[in-house]
Structure 1
Amino acid sequence: MYGTALRKSALFVAMGIGLASMAPGIVHAQNVNGAIAGRANAGDRITVTNTETGLSRSVAAGADGSYRLSQLPVGSYSLQVSRDGQPLGEPVEVGVSLGNATTINLGSDGVVSLSAVQVIGSRVISPVDVTSTESATNITAEEIERLPVERDVASVALLAPGVAGGSAGFGGISFGGSSVAENAFYINGLNVTDFYNRVGFSQAPFDFYQEFQVKTGGYSVEYGRTTGGVVNAIAKSGSNDFHYGAKLVLEPRDWQSSARDSYLDGDRYLTRSKDSSDLATLNAWASGPIMKDRLFFFAMYEARDVKPESTSNAGTSFTRGDSDNGFWATTLDWQLTDNNLLSLMAFSNDNRVDNTTYAYDFDAGARGDKLSEAYSESGGDNWALTWTSHFTDTLSMKLMHGRNERNSVAASPNDGDCNYVTAGAGVVDPGVPLGCTNNATIYDRNDQREQTRADFEWALGDHLLRFGLDRETNTSDLSQDYAGPGGIQYNVYSTTPGAQISGAGIVPPGYFAYVRARRYSIFGEFESRNEAFYLEDNWSVTDNVVLNLGIRNETFDNRDAEGRTYIEMDDMWAPRAGFAWDMKGDGTTKLFGNVGRYFLPVANVINIKQGGALLDERTYYGFDGWDIQERDGVQYAVPILGTQFGFDNSQGDGTVGDLRAEVDADMDPVYQDELILGFQQQINSTWSWGVRGTYRKLHNAIDDINLTATHCGRIASRWVMANPGEDVTVWGDTDCDGVDDGYLTVDTSKMGYWTESDNYAFVNGEWEYVDSTPTGQRGWVKPRRTYKALEFQVDRAWDGKWAFNAAYTLSWNEGNAEGPVNTDTNFGDTGRTENFDDPFVNYRGDGPLANDHRHQIKLRGSYAFNDNWSVGATLDARSGGPITAFGVGNPYNWKSYHSYFICVENCTPPEGAQEGDTWSTADRVFEHSPRGGEGNMPWIIDVGMSLGYERAFSFGTFEARLSVYNLFNRQEPVWVYQDLEPGVGDRDEYFGKERFLQSPRYGQLTLAWRY
């Protein structure tokens, strides 16, 4: 409906809808509620009543005329002013949105001041929140229904400025230049962030969500454990009226465009054109009172039927999946009294996918015999119980306890008999599938978070004090092995004779491919505990100026498989301060800013790989071709192992080492400082605009470094979790007698890694290693990451007829460390990147980082033709990320993973050598290959369109919406191969070629009925 007029006595003043994307609001305890605040005559009593549940709250204006009703459930309220027990004027309809304060200033006669509000259809919206100091975007389920937005939380977050989708194979979203492993996600105050690897999060069924708040910066001290962004969501709840409905969502396979295959010199190297999926979900829900005005429920069940299909990269096998699990979710809200509320939120997202793999003839498009079966499981049960009490007009409390569960299981009936086999680009195609299983790992992990927190608000005159504490115990129970006899995985890579393979040695003569046979195993229960307390003062210095002053104290405690603390960081003080200035005093123009510090915890994956009995053996062989075998009448290929030329188990030998020697005893945390300055202005009754500048600087990194030298000289190689480029304190040899006897400190900015050159001799027709020549010590560069951005927004609020939002972000994301994961090398093992394995991985590696998207343009809008028909559209366009030509060596020491040097001369032992000839790695000549030196990937442009129909009947309302995503079917690469030199002296013909593409165009039909 549109064009509905309202009487001024029933104005609806709301933050968080429409223009709220331009006007972030004050943060409240746990951010699962909102507030109403403002000024009135001293002594006047302001009473608000929820129009849907009957909840009533009342407060008297203070001596200075200020009043505040805090921790109100999101919804619509009727506000009445009384003086001397008598009501003044008519009630005013007020909206409360997630995490925001709705400002209602009342005149001496109790009438709402209209100088800074705007009538938008059936509501009045306050476009500029002059009390807010944070950067946030509020988006409701109602707004999402009008737009072509995919049905997941990440797609909602991508509507906010400065947020970009991850481009590597492990996905995720990036906020303000941070990596995808630095964010936090909440549902009704429950932290549902993946604490194992920090890339994902638990999601409820999408129709369970009522409203989202996407925080991109400047958030309150109640939030921590993130150096990226925060996505805060609340679930739907019941009211005094019964409602029910159903929604059917269809994404037929026939409505999906084919993905592009990738070719090199006419040969297909990545097969995608047969990949597709068929999806159908049916959601049924109901809500209403169990006891009128007191006890309410919302419940839903979502049945799913998902059938994905995909081919192997070579197109020689075809996998069909099937998933038909149902998801459920519920909320219960019990208003015991007007001042005491007990709420329960719970959902289950348990999911299982069964996959069957067949032989496949790509050219004929024919499926052959079954090769293998596998299944995966994910999700779990989640719940949060919250108690809210208002002790007095000025003091309130919120207590919450909950559990977040995430399962991850991968297995196959063939696990005992079949090893997993892969082949890289450039390896000869055997013409049959690789291996007899598509399950790489027998994997079973259960992650459980137990969370408890308490939050308080206390209004004292011009000061609103907020304080609280929270505690999380995060437990990962893991069992992991590779499939097949011996638990070995075979990976075949192309190479050239004489190339030097990191961790292995020189490829023997005559070999143009090699095999890495890797055995990997780990098990155990691992725990981390995170605790914090905070204090914040929101001080109204004058009627026009608000200061937000806060401090947060963090503690991180990571434990090994024996339950012993091995990484502990405490007394991490995170100060944050902000201001908001109502420049004209009428609520239409605001200057605001904030500065703050944010800490990032260590992911549980580090506990497992550093504090567990990890076995990681890598044996290297020359590749002697494919052995074609047969199982159950189906042929498959396994590699024939040739000459062994390397072995490495330095990453884990199956025992829990002396962690005093493997973990910095005085480790500093990873933290980020942030500065934001912004301006907002209301243009007229419907339009507003704003500009914001952001500066972020990341300090420190926690990563594994290969320590090979101390003050005593060269030591046995040990992998240490530490701060690269800082003082590292480990258990070692303090008196140089060859025995570890105490703690010693190494300044890793100057020393810690022994450099050397390797010497070879040509003996019996082959190059053989002779010895190494020490060349000195080197230290690590310190990690650096800065993000600088200018963000512009224009917003037109929804008035029942149309709405529009446009945002442009100009940013620079630069340094030598992306964060806990590496997008440019497609490495998603959080906290164990190659960035600091030795001093040369990042040496001279400054430049544009993987999440550097210099330009970002976002548009979204909706338009109602009449009461029945409407359209919606979105545009997300960003410039492509940088491309780097990575090498694996450097002028000082060949033992490196990725590096910013390329060997150009004397890279491999000379051909035509004679018996007794010698050669050294010191003879190599390198050139610097700068980060981002190969230009950028193309722009990523994604346009979505939707057409909606709605009609009301006596028995309910029917809705239909047809949405098309990636309307123009752009399939540009979002990630390309960036290894120019996979081995010293080698060149990868696939360098710069596409690997991951935009998803192709697809359609979605939504049919809904509600009553």
Structure 2
Amino acid sequence: MKNRNLHRSALSIAMGLCLAALTPVAMAQDGAVVGVSEAGAQVTVRNPQTGFSRTVTADASGNYRFSYLPVGTYELQASANGEPVGEPVQVRVGLGSATYVGASDDVTSLGAVQVIGSRVINAVDVSSTESATNVTAEQIERLPVERNVSSVALLAPGVAGGSAGFGGISFGGSSVAENAFYVNGLNVTDFYNRIGFSEAPFDFYEEFQVKTGGYSVEFGRTTGGVVNAVAKSGTNEFHSGGKVVLGPREWESSRRDSYFEGERYLTRSHDTTDSTRMNIWASGPLVQDRLFFFAMYEGRQVEPESTNNVGTSFTRGTSDDGFWGATMDWQVTDNNLLSLMAFSNENRLDSSTYAYDFDTDEIGDKISDRYTEAGGTNWALTWTSYLTDNLSMKVLHGQTERKDIGASPNDATCNFVSAGTGVPDPGVPLGCTSNLSIYDRLDEREQTRVDFEWSLGDHRLRFGLDRESNTSDLSQAYSGPGGIQYGVTATTPGAQIPDAGIVPDGYFAYVRARQYEIFGNFESTNNAWYIEDNWSVTDDLVLNMGIRNEAFDNKDGLGATYIEMDDMWSPRLGFSWDVRGDGTTKLFGNVGRYFLPVANVINIKQGGALLDARTFYGFEGWEIREHNGVEYAFPILGEQFGFDNSQGDGTVGDLRAEVDADMDQVYQDELILGFQQQLSQAWSWGVRGIYRKLNNAIDDINITATHCGRVGSSWVMANPGEELTIWGDTDCDGVDDGYLTIDTAQAGYWTEADNYVYTDGEWEYVDSTPTGQRGWVKPRRTYKALEFQVDRAWDEKWMFNGSYTLSWNEGNAEGPVNTDTNFGDTGRTENFDDPFVNLDGYGPLANDHRHQIKLRGTYAVTDNWRVGATVDAKSGGPITAFGVGNPYNWKSYHSYYLCVENCTRPTDAEEGDTWSTADRVFEHSPRGDAGRMPWTVDIGASVTYQRSFGLADFQAKLAVYNLLNDQKPIWVYQELEPGVGSRDPYFGQERFLQSPRYAQLTLSLSY
């Protein structure tokens, strides 16, 4: 009887393996196998490709677990009295997932197991409480998916690409600056502004896991999503190969230019990119069964070309830096593994800008040169130790590096000049440089984490520590004499310009001359510990209970702490119920809290000696100048009407007066309830309900009033709508002498009206009338969604996956960036600069794509030919008609009010007439009330030919993206009133479009 049960256990080892396994397991390049056998049974897991094996003994209840298993294909074997029982069963361990094994006295229960080709798949993991999608590089090769991590993430339901100019991806209604990215457990997220991440070429990766919600307490520092990737590794067999990816510009459809009233205002039709990438790789053993390597080098030739918006200059660039990456895996003993992953993605782009005539397509003399540098070296060293059958440990230490450098040979002599829509075209290029600033930043992260897993009968404890030190070394200033950038904006006489004043009579455009510079070394440290219990309450019910404690410490340019938050408790609770008890149907759910750290850009722009001086002039036309024999336009400065340096005067101030001493953290609460069912051996379906609520915000707010009355403008990092504790004047004697508290929901901002009198033929300022104080509204953001999925597993013939997401993303704050106003300066948005930016601003947020449909599939026509297709369709985001005024105060940034009467000083005034900003009449312009952008549909198609020639495997894949060449707008101008009393004729006109149709040919040969 015992041998019979062991035989049955060996067969049932395959139960629970799934394409999107979701059980919380070790972060990084690992997975797990967990199951039930006969008490005291010996169970062995072995990777035949590397010789790695482990044997554990099932406990008194028959439970056993293999933790921290490197991703790969394994054989499981049950044994009795040292003799194998039955045949080994092949299973695959996926990234961040667990293969769950169940034994049953009823052999017919193995009907839950699907044998598809040579693999065993179970579409429902009844031990899972998370929400994630696993995708292997092999699966991507069968589909027309662009070769980057972001495109893989976009396959998951509820994930959308950012529509503003700063890009990124949005998970479940969050902004693009709230995500986390890992490679082999190393956090490669850009901590400067949290929008980007360090990325390797696609062929360096083996597998991806996209976590869209409910992830366990080992993950933190994100209120969006998590993308986890693992690099390739070597085996006992030598393999090598090469790949060429061709993307010639001739295979790219022409981008569409934008016209308004018959005039071209955005020129894109000559923007193209030519790219050729070729990699070679090798893998194999250095010591059989012990030491393995994988190494890859990719050469790249990328040549972008583009024109400026008005088509008067042409820029041609070239980048030919190569990538290198490697992994090393050493099985030091049977119970100890050492792994090294390293890659360098350093890249330099050199570009030259020329005078250009769009109508004749003639390229003239060179105007300027520019270069940018990005990327850096990244590495992680990981030690895994199986201390006992039930206790495992993992230690990781690593570093990431990201350069961001931009400069030009003309930096000393040429200022950068730009002009908005509606400004007269000078017919020659603006300025004599294409380089906005002399910028040199190096971001370095040092990361250490220790993770443990301890199985105690029905309980599995997981606990660990996680520390990161993030340092930004920055030097930045605008190019040209005086370090000044000149921007020209169309307006109307008498319009109110934020931070500037009233546009003088006779001017229909103004110039903002901005001097901006900052230098320093800035550090932040993030520390966390966590503990979690995965409790098998019964054979059919699993509870996941965890707690994470985080602490953030951001330091200024002098190395002193200025934002410090600790004791951030993140409870997480999840359950999974095997409804039928046979592993085919489950009900699951989880609730949790997630915290978001403060980006390093905040350290720099508030904790550094920032100089941000803005001087405003009337625009009196263009002066045509010459540099190196090439003509260019420079603005003629008229009457000065404004100056502002309140956001940085070049000194590190008393930060006690600039940071809330009792600031609360930014966090999000999440609730998920889901159902998943296996319909047959190949088909499964599921539904998931999600509710997310963002609590709090940290942003810069402009405090202009305290209990002592009006004070000088002070920009403070704080929680809008909450109590604020800052250093100030406690006894109203004009001297800052202690901490005071301001309820920013009620007060903190001085309101007033400016009064004018018409004297001697012009309006003169008289005085300002105080109108009281106002406070800020509290930030709000909610995401509610229903996700439906259906999946048909690959059986060497065809596969299909489809999802539909119905969602509502609403509130008055998108997050640390603003998509609707195209503002990507993380944590320093305009949302809370003064109390009127968000006043009456609740509505659909920029990432509110009410409907999303995603389809992907592959079909093997013959043994040699395959076709694949993807569809990504989503409804457009909301459009808001922003103003810049409000009924309560003359000075404001973007607002949800439009001036409709008495907006500017009368032009037909008589001597002695008076006018006040209090005379203005406004009407509410609700968020999203100006309609929506159109649906976008992106269809991809691919055809693949593969064939083996003895020891060599050849593959050719032609992929076409955006097959229908739809170029719908994904972002439009949403500023209806750029100045009080001024209407922008370009409101609602398109700015950013879908990428045009383009094709790639991939040729690979492997041995």
Q: Considering the TM-score relative to the shorter chain, is it more than 0.5?
A: yes
Q: How does 1:621-632 map to 2 (within 5 A)?
A: 621-632=617-628
AA at the equivalent of 1:384: A
**Structure 2 counterpart of 1:100, from 67, 90, 97:** 97
Matching residue of 1:296: 292
Contact 2:13–2:103 (8 Å) recurs in 1 = no
Contact 1:421–1:490 (8 Å) recurs in 2 = yes
Matching residue of 1:861: 857
Contact 1:14–1:94 (8 Å) recurs in 2 = no
Indicate yes or no: 2:19 matched with 1:20. Answer: yes
Q: How does 1:340-739 map to 2 (within 5 A)?
A: 340-739=336-735
Matching residue of 1:54: 51
| Secondary structure at 1:606 match in 2 | helix
Give me the whole-angstrom Cα distance separating, in 1, the residues matched to 2:421 and 2:312: 14
Superimposed CA distance per residue, residues 6-60 of structure 1 (whole angstroms, 9 cap, x where no aligned partner): x9999994877xx624xx4212222421111111110001001111101001111
**Structure 1 counterpart of 2:79, from 78, 82, 86:** 82
**Structure 1 counterpart of 2:842, from 839, 846, 851:** 846
Superimposed CA distance per residue, residues 584-628 of structure 1 (whole angstroms, 9 cap, x where no aligned partner): 110000000000000000000000001000000000000000000
| Per-residue deviation, 1:763 | 2.9
Give me the whole-angstrom Cα distance separating, in 1, the residues matched to 2:180 and 2:862: 40
Give me the whole-angstrom Cα distance separating, in 2, the residues matched to 1:519 and 1:769: 27
Contact 1:11–1:94 (8 Å) recurs in 2 = no
Which consecutive unaligned segments of at least 5 residues does structure 2 have? Answer: 1-7
**Structure 2 counterpart of 1:317, from 305, 313, 316:** 313
Matching residue of 1:64: 61
| Secondary structure at 2:19 match in 1 | helix
Superimposed CA distance per residue, residues 645-664 of structure 1 (whole angstroms, 9 cap, x where no aligned partner): 00000000000010000000
| Per-residue deviation, 1:956 | 0.4
Contact 2:495–2:502 (8 Å) recurs in 1 = yes
Give me the whole-angstrom Cα distance separating, in 2, the residues matched to 1:269 and 1:877: 28
Which consecutive unaligned segments of at least 5 residues does structure 1 have? Answer: 1-6
Q: How does 1:719-798 map to 2 (within 5 A)?
A: 719-798=715-794
Contact 1:979–1:991 (8 Å) recurs in 2 = yes
Contact 2:13–2:102 (8 Å) recurs in 1 = no
AA at the equivalent of 1:245: G
Contact 2:446–2:468 (8 Å) recurs in 1 = yes
Give me the whole-angstrom Cα distance separating, in 2, the residues matched to 1:14 and 1:837: 56
Give me the whole-angstrom Cα distance separating, in 2, the residues matched to 1:798 and 1:406: 38
Indicate yes or no: 2:41 matched with 1:44. Answer: yes
AA at the equivalent of 2:992: F
Superimposed CA distance per residue, residues 414-471 of structure 1 (whole angstroms, 9 cap, x where no aligned partner): 0000000000000000000000000001000000000000000000010000000010
| Per-residue deviation, 1:814 | 0.2
**Structure 2 counterpart of 1:264, from 251, 257, 260:** 260
Give me the whole-angstrom Cα distance separating, in 2, the residues matched to 1:199 and 1:616: 23
Give me the whole-angstrom Cα distance separating, in 2, the residues matched to 1:520 and 1:949: 55
AA at the equivalent of 1:729: T
Give me the whole-angstrom Cα distance separating, in 2, the residues matched to 1:638 and 1:112: 82
Superimposed CA distance per residue, residues 630-680 of structure 1 (whole angstroms, 9 cap, x where no aligned partner): 111110000000000000000000000100000000000000000000000
**Structure 2 counterpart of 1:134, from 123, 130, 141:** 130
| Secondary structure at 2:112 match in 1 | coil
| Per-residue deviation, 1:940 | 1.1
Give me the whole-angstrom Cα distance separating, in 1, the residues matched to 2:919 and 2:586: 64
Matching residue of 1:280: 276
Matching residue of 1:3: none
Superimposed CA distance per residue, residues 107-163 of structure 1 (whole angstroms, 9 cap, x where no aligned partner): 579x89623211111111011000000000000000000000001100000000000
Q: How does 1:224-243 map to 2 (within 5 A)?
A: 224-243=220-239
- Say which is worse superposed, 39-48 or 85-94, in terms of deviation: 85-94
Give me the whole-angstrom Cα distance separating, in 2, the residues matched to 1:756 and 1:774: 4
Contact 1:623–1:642 (8 Å) recurs in 2 = yes
Give me the whole-angstrom Cα distance separating, in 1, the residues matched to 2:775 and 2:570: 30
Change in CA separation of 1:98 and 1:227 when aligned onto 2, cut-off 3 Å: same
Matching residue of 1:802: 798
AA at the equivalent of 2:96: G
Contact 1:105–1:113 (8 Å) recurs in 2 = no
| Per-residue deviation, 1:902 | 0.1
Q: Percent identity over the alignment?
A: 74
| Per-residue deviation, 1:104 | 2.1
Q: How does 1:908-987 map to 2 (within 5 A)?
A: 908-987=904-983
Give me the whole-angstrom Cα distance separating, in 2, the residues matched to 1:819 and 1:941: 26
Give me the whole-angstrom Cα distance separating, in 2, the residues matched to 1:471 and 1:214: 23
Contact 2:534–2:545 (8 Å) recurs in 1 = yes
| Secondary structure at 1:30 match in 2 | coil
Contact 1:676–1:695 (8 Å) recurs in 2 = yes
TM-score, normalised by the number of residues in structure 2: 0.98
Contact 2:15–2:110 (8 Å) recurs in 1 = no
Give me the whole-angstrom Cα distance separating, in 1, the residues matched to 2:834 and 2:108: 65
Give me the whole-angstrom Cα distance separating, in 2, the residues matched to 1:811 and 1:865: 37
Give me the whole-angstrom Cα distance separating, in 1, the residues matched to 2:108 and 2:380: 37
Matching residue of 1:997: 993
Superimposed CA distance per residue, residues 476-530 of structure 1 (whole angstroms, 9 cap, x where no aligned partner): 0000000000000000000000101011111011100000000000000000000
Give me the whole-angstrom Cα distance separating, in 1, the residues matched to 2:289 and 2:698: 52
Number of aligned residues = 1000
| Per-residue deviation, 1:916 | 2.7
AA at the equivalent of 1:718: S
Contact 1:14–1:123 (8 Å) recurs in 2 = no
Give me the whole-angstrom Cα distance separating, in 2, the residues matched to 1:141 and 1:805: 16
Give me the whole-angstrom Cα distance separating, in 2, the residues matched to 1:961 and 1:15: 33
Matching residue of 2:875: 879
Change in CA separation of 1:716 and 1:8 when aligned onto 2, cut-off 3 Å: closer
Contact 1:599–1:671 (8 Å) recurs in 2 = yes
After the TM superposition, which parts of structure 1 deviate over 6 Å for at least 4 consecutive aligned residues? 7-12
Give me the whole-angstrom Cα distance separating, in 1, the residues matched to 2:818 and 2:289: 53
Contact 1:104–1:112 (8 Å) recurs in 2 = no
- Say which is worse superposed, 925-934 or 25-34, in terms of deviation: 25-34
